[in-house]
Amino acid sequence: MGLLKAADCRHNKHSSSTTSIVVVGLSGAVLQAISTIAHESGHYFASRLLGIKVNGVGVDFLRAYVSVEFPENSKAKPAIGILAGPAASLAFAGVLFAARQNSSGLTQTILTNEIEVGICSGLYNLIPTPISDGGRLLELALQKHIPDHTLRIKVVTGCGIAAHLAWNKFNVNRQIRQILTS
């Protein structure tokens, strides 16, 4: 939180708007990286606790991931392992929310932004698209009913498109922002 305390000091001494923008950007990037680590740690630790074999953990420029081998005879363990990532994202947003209660100025702005990102990414990750946790959950649920992998991906994609449209229709991001700033 040292960077955030420095941001408050600079903000309170009438710092330039350029400095504030840089501090918000850098703080946001650091908090987003920590949020991503929390999300993937949720997958990793839940999988390990459930006895699911973890083949690797990776981070590249566009994504982070935990590669696991799901047991053939269980649907519950993989589902819990998949849900642990979004749950960890939401838990991290909760930690930031608690920290926000004792903050003000630029620090509060930074934390509010990151809480919104954490909540939205935790929930948004549950939308069933082929690359999201929600898509992995839906595909897991459909394996028994739709044996053809390609057809399952088409169903997941269709559901994902419908969910994206609903997300935008109900403007979920704006509603979360209004709750945080009221």
Residue 175 belongs to domain spanning:
126-182
Percent of the chain scoring above 70 in pLDDT: 91
pLDDT score for 101? 92
Report field, pTM of the whole predicted structure over 0.75: yes
C-alpha dihedral over 99, 46, 176, 7, to 10 degrees?
30
Top pLDDT among 18 and 14 is at: 18
Asked if 90 and 28 sit in the same domain, the reply is yes
Do 72 and 153 lie in a common domain?
no
The pLDDT tens digits of the residues spanning 118-140 come to 898 899 899 999 889 999 999 99
- What is the predicted pLDDT for the residue at 3? 43
Residue with tokens 């009221």: 182
Judgement on whether residues 108 and 132 belong to the same structural domain of the protein:
no
Based on the structure, what is the number of domains in the chain? Answer: 2
Residues 3 and 81 in one domain: yes
Among the candidates 123, 138, 163, a domain finishes at: 123
Could you identify the residue written with the tokens 């608690």? 98
